[in-house]
Amino acid sequence: MATATKKTREQMIKKLGQSQALAIERSEIVNGRRSESPVSVRLSAPLLEALDLLAQKEHRKRGNLIQHILWEYVQEQQRAK
């Protein structure tokens, strides 16, 4: 019987990044063309502080964390349908 090997943290992060990179790239295509314009969102100071703490713990930039959170939410909504 084959045994499963335990992946290192770095391997798991790399795999997750690869799997989401393509999905994120596809999500940036709007109406048949790639969207290059930035999107602005106003966040309250407490929420911004909480996001910054999470980003720091996950070794991400704030914008990347927000994009990741939004992408996960969209995927969950699509699975629920």
In a domain, 2, yes or no: no
Which position has the token pair 């969209």? 74
Assess if residue 1 is contained within a domain.
Answer: no
C-alpha angle 4-13-9 in degrees, rounded to nearest 5: 55
20 domain-assigned = yes
pLDDT at position 39 is 79
pLDDT band at 58 (very low <50, low <70, confident <90, very high): very high
* DSSP symbol at 36: -
Query: Which residues constitute the domain of residue 47?
Result: 9-33+41-80
Split into its structural domains, the chain has a count of 1
pLDDT of residue 10: 75
pLDDT at 81: 84
**Which tops the pLDDT comparison, 5 or 56?**
56
Instruction: Write out pLDDT tens, residues 8-56.
Output: 777 776 766 666 666 666 666 666 666 667 778 899 999 999 999 999 9
Tokens in use for 30? 């709007």
